[in-house]
């Protein structure tokens, strides 16, 4: 496989991987987050949070993917970029690393959202005192 | 007439396929370490974190959400650092250069892990403190 072809294939594979990882993170936290969002005050807020939740994983993952640039100080033209396979592999690693890092930020962000939701939950703290739990 | 003299290095390093094998082995070892560290941390902290969350939150969904988030934070931080480490060394690199590169990877893995565990702990502390205040009210 030529470097040119490798670049095209690996770029689109990384793009697909970013969406897949975003969706994976979303599916892993979807149910517990839906339970937390249900406790949010206001009429429309729970459904709004639940609808925003998938975007809050897929978009950061995509952002992480596109935030890596193939151009650098010593490689500015396309020919220079595709000259070395090692450089292309390094960039792919950087892309995956960046996807994971942005997903990490997304998880921390949704943790903060859950914190505020639980703080201002509709039915106060009675459940905790009586030991009730919502499944 | 022409004296061809091959210049051999005094101590030839790893070349071609050997170098590739070392790079792959070093990367796989780094990946294994970056998977082992979060697994050990999660197993160590899971039960006490679970107890703390159960004691603080009314919602079972909240407990599950924060536990799963903790697992994600641990794995994402470690893998993000490990995968970002490049083993693209010169073909004549020696064995120890791969070891140093691997150690660099482990260092950045642990550093990132530490930072995000600290952020998560701060978040959990705020969660516990605010919900405790709310309960007290």
pLDDT digits (tens, 9 = 90+) for A41-51: 888 889 999 99
C-alpha B55/C-alpha B38 separation (Å) is 24
* pLDDT higher than 70, residue B36: yes
In whole numbers, what is the pLDDT of chain A averaged over residues? 87
Is A93:A68 a contact under the CB 8 Å cutoff? no
Domains of chain A, by residue range, sit at: 3-121
- Identify the CA nearest to A115 among candidates B53, B77, B137, B101: B53
- Chain A interface includes B61 (CB < 8 A): yes
Mutate to test the interface with B, among A41, A109, A128, A129 (most CBs of B within 10 A): A128
Mean pLDDT of B21-44: 91
| B113 DSSP 8-state letter | H
* pLDDT higher than 50, residue A129: no
Output the pLDDT for position B92: 79
* pLDDT higher than 90, residue B135: no
Say if the Cβ atoms of B65 and A107 lie within 8 Å.
Answer: no
C-alpha A62/C-alpha A70 separation (Å) is 16
* pLDDT higher than 60, residue B115: yes
Is B64:A32 a contact under the CB 8 Å cutoff? yes
Is B26:B87 a contact under the CB 8 Å cutoff? yes
C-alpha A20/C-alpha A100 separation (Å) is 12
Rg (CA), chain A: 21
What part of B 80-99 touches A (C-beta under 8 Å)? 80-81, 83-86, 88
Residues of chain A with Cβ-Cβ distance to B57 below 8 Å are 118, 128
Say if the Cβ atoms of A108 and B120 lie within 8 Å.
Answer: yes
Work out the angle between the directed axes of helices A3-38 and A45-66 (0-180°, nearest 10).
160
Mean pLDDT of B85-94: 82
Mean pLDDT of B24-32: 91
Over the stretch A96-128, which tens digit does the pLDDT of each residue have? 999 999 999 999 999 999 999 988 886 544 444
Token reading at B21:
């094998």
**Nearest CB to A89; choose among B66, B88, B127:** B88
Residue whose tokens read 């079972």: B60
The proportion of chain A whose per-residue pLDDT surpasses 70, expressed as a percent, equals 90
Is A39:A127 a contact under the CB 8 Å cutoff? no
* pLDDT higher than 90, residue B14: no
Token reading at B88:
């693209």
- Identify the CA nearest to A49 among candidates A63, A35, A28: A35
**Nearest CB to B59; choose among A36, A110, A119:** A36
- Chain A interface includes B68 (CB < 8 A): yes
Say if the Cβ atoms of A100 and B130 lie within 8 Å.
Answer: no
- Chain A interface includes B128 (CB < 8 A): no
C-alpha A92/C-alpha A64 separation (Å) is 12
Over the stretch A77-86, which tens digit does the pLDDT of each residue have? 899 899 988 8
For B14, the 3-state DSSP assignment is: coil
- Chain A interface includes B76 (CB < 8 A): yes
Q: Which residues does A23 contact at the CB level (< 8 Å), separation at least 6?
A: A54, A57, A58
Residues of chain A with Cβ-Cβ distance to B134 below 8 Å are 119, 124-125
Give A75 to chain B, closest Cα distance, Å.
Answer: 16
Is A14:A65 a contact under the CB 8 Å cutoff? yes
Q: Which residues does B127 contact at the CB level (< 8 Å), separation at least 6?
A: A115, A118, B56, B66
For B5, the 3-state DSSP assignment is: coil
Give B60 to chain A, closest Cα distance, Å.
Answer: 6
Sign of the dihedral through C-alpha A119, A105, A30, B57: negative
C-alpha B128/C-alpha A49 separation (Å) is 22
Residues of chain A with Cβ-Cβ distance to B137 below 8 Å are 125
């Amino acid at each position: 496989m030529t470097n040119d072809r490798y670049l095209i294939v690996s770029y689109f594979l990384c793009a697909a991987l970013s969406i897949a990882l975003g969706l994976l993170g979303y599916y892993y936290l979807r149910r517990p987050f839906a339970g937390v969002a249900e406790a949010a005050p206001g009429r429309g807020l729970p459904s709004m949070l639940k609808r925003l939740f998938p975007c809050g994983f897929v978009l950061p993952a995509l952002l992480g993917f596109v935030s890596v640039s193939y151009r650098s100080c010593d490689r500015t033209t396309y020919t220079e970029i595709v000259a070395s396979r090692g450089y292309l592999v390094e960039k792919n690693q950087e892309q995956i690393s960046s996807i994971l890092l942005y997903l990490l930020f997304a998880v921390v962000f949704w943790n903060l959202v859950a914190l505020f939701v639980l703080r201002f939950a509709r039915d106060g703290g009675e459940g905790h005192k009586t030991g009730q739990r919502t499944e | 007439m022409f004296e061809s003299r091959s210049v051999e290095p005094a101590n030839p390093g790893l070349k071609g396929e050997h170098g590739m094998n070392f790079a792959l082995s070093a990367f796989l070892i780094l990946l294994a370490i970056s998977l082992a560290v979060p697994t050990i941390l999660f197993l160590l902290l899971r039960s006490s974190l679970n107890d703390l969350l159960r004691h603080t939150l009314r919602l079972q969904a909240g407990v599950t959400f924060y536990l799963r988030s903790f697992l994600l934070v641990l794995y994402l931080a470690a893998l993000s650092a490990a995968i970002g480490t490049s083993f693209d060394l010169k073909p004549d690199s020696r064995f120890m250069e791969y070891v140093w590169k691997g150690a660099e990877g482990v260092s950045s893995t642990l550093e990132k892990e530490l930072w995000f565990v600290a952020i998560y702990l701060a978040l959990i502390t705020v969660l516990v403190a605010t919900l405790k205040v709310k309960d007290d009210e």
